[in-house]
Structures are given as C-alpha cells and as structure tokens.
Amino acid sequence: MSLLAQTSPLIDWAWISRNMGQIVDRTWEHVTLTAVSVSIGLLLSLVLGLVALRWRWTYGPITWVTGLMYTIPSLALFALLVPIVGLNATNAVIALTSYTLLIIVRNLVAGIDGVPEAVIEAADGMGYTRRARFWRMEVPLALPVIVAGLRIATVTTVGLVTVTAVLGLGGYGFFILRGLNTFFWTQILVGVALSVILATILDIAFVLLERWLSPWARRAT
C-alpha cells in the first residue's frame, strides 16, 4: 500500500483529459454552492449591517455572534446541522452563509464609518434627506471597502466548499477526498489547483465589478 502510495505518477494527464466532463460537473457544483452561499450571506449581511448602523448598540452583539459562528470549524458545523436539516445542500449553504456574515458586516460598517465627515456635511448642506444621503453618497463612497469584504468572503467560501464533499455534495473537494482515499495524486492536485484558480478568477471579477461600479475612482487616479 505504502509503496503504491509513493510511486503512482504525480500527474496523469490522460486521466485529466478522460475526465473533462466530470471536471465540468464538479466546477458547476462548486460555483453554484459558492454563489448561493455568498448571495444569501450578502443579503443577510446587508440587513444586519443596516441594523448595526441604525442602532449602534447592536453592532457589538452582532459581531460577537457572527464572530462565534465564524470560529466554529466547518466540518463541525456541517456535522451539527445533520440532525437538524440532514445531509444535503441546505446544510452546506447554511454553514457557508454563516461564515460570510462576520466578514461582510464588518466591512460594510467600517466602509460607511470611513466616509469623511466633510462629505456628509456637504450632502446635508445640499439638502439630502438622511436616506438619500446614505444610498447616494455614503454607500457609493464605501463601495471599495464593501467589495473588499465580498472578495474575502467569496475567496474564503470557495476554499470551504472543498470540505462540503464530505457531505456528498461534489465540488472540487470530491476530487481531493477521492484522491486521498485512493492515493491517486492527480485527483488531489486537480482538486486543489482548480479551487485556487476559481478563487482567483472570482477575486479578479470582483475587482473589475468594483471598477465598473465606481467610475469616479478611476478618473481620480
């Protein structure tokens, strides 16, 4: 066993080309789980962030609770959810979403807090209502920090989705897990490499999205 483990080829290109169809399927699973979790996470974080900004005293408890959720290791959270929701995508989405909350909420609040006082006074002077000032001045100016939070949340989620293979949900972790069990190195390397590539692509996509959403920042530099 150990000898086999040491001598099987590191990269079996034939296996990769033979399994392109499967690679596409696993990519789809990985992307779907990431997208659904980050989207729900963003929606929940917006609500939590707005609550924290409106009622300041809630910010401490919100970061404390989301921070605690963030601390619980992914494998343990998946396992804890099994008796409640079962072994399915819902389980993974709940766990993955809960990890995004702390990151996005913290950046949301920090971003809005970072808007210069002068801008707020200028907006007030121009007769903006509180609501208009928030959506048209503060949110756009906080966008870089908010998007930075989304980037971290997304990249982290892509990494965590590799663990959901334990729940039988596929994704790149499927390759890693099966490679580990069969000492088939190619699968491990393919699983890890694709996960890193996906994380990098999504990270770059967010940078481009931010540039597109805030054209004024480009003009300034």
Partner 1 sequence: MAQPVGAPRDMSVWESIESFLSEPETWSGPGSIWVRLGEHLWVSIVAVVVAALLVMPVAVWFGHTRRGSEVATAVVNIGRALPSFGILAISFLILVRMGAGIREPWAVLVALIALAAPPMFTNTVAGIQTVEPATVESARGMGLTEREVLTGVELPLAVPVIMEGVRIALVQVIATATLGALVAWGGLGRFIVDGFAQQDQGQLVAGAVLVGLLAVVAELGFSKLQRSATPRGLRTAR
Nearer to partner 1, 47 or 204 (CB): 204
Distance between CA atoms of residues 92 and 120, nearest Å:
41
For residues 172 and 28, is the Cβ–Cβ distance under 8 A? no
Which one, 130 or 181, has the nearer CB to partner 1? 181
Site residues for partner 1, window 122-181 (CB under 8 A)?
Answer: 152, 155-156, 158-160, 162-163, 166, 168, 173, 176-177, 179-180
Q: Distance between CA atoms of 159 and 161, rounded to whole angstroms? A: 6
Which residues, at least 6 apart from 215, have a Cβ–Cβ distance to it below 8 Å?
A: none
- C-alpha 80/C-alpha 153 separation (Å) is 22
> CA-to-CA distance for 169 and 32, rounded, in angstroms?
11
Does residue 2 interact with partner 1 by CB under 8 A?
A: yes
- Tokens at 178, concatenated: 């099966």
In the complex, the smallest distance separating the C-beta of residue 107 from partner 1, rounded to whole angstroms, is 14
Q: Residue 200, interface with partner 1 (CB under 8 A)?
A: yes
Examine residue 77 and tell whether it contacts partner 1 (CB under 8 A). yes
Residue number with CB closer to partner 1 (41 or 173)? 173
Binding test (CB under 8 A) with partner 1, winner from 203, 210, 214, 217: 203
196 binds partner 1 (CB under 8 A): yes
Asked if 183 touches partner 1 (CB under 8 A), the answer is yes
Of 47, 80, 205, 207, which lies in the binding site for partner 1, with binding defined by CB under 8 A? 80
Positive or negative, the CA dihedral 132, 134, 138, 140 is: negative
- The torsion of the CA quartet 145, 151, 157, 160, rounded to 10 degrees, works out to -100
The Cα 115–Cα 137 span in angstroms is 9
Which of 36, 44, 53, 75 is the binder for partner 1 (CB under 8 A)? Answer: 75
- Of 140 and 144, which CB lies nearer to partner 1 in the complex structure? 144
Structure tokens at 166: 């334990």
Output the smallest distance, CB 78 to partner 1, in A. Answer: 8
In this structure, the number of other CB atoms found within 10 A of the CB of residue 28 comes to 12
Q: Count the Cβ atoms, other than its own, within 10 Å of residue 111.
A: 21
- What residues line the site for partner 1 (CB under 8 A)? 1-2, 5-6, 10, 68, 71-77, 79-80, 82-83, 86-88, 152, 155-156, 158-160, 162-163, 166, 168, 173, 176-177, 179-180, 183, 185, 188-189, 191-192, 195-196, 199-200, 203
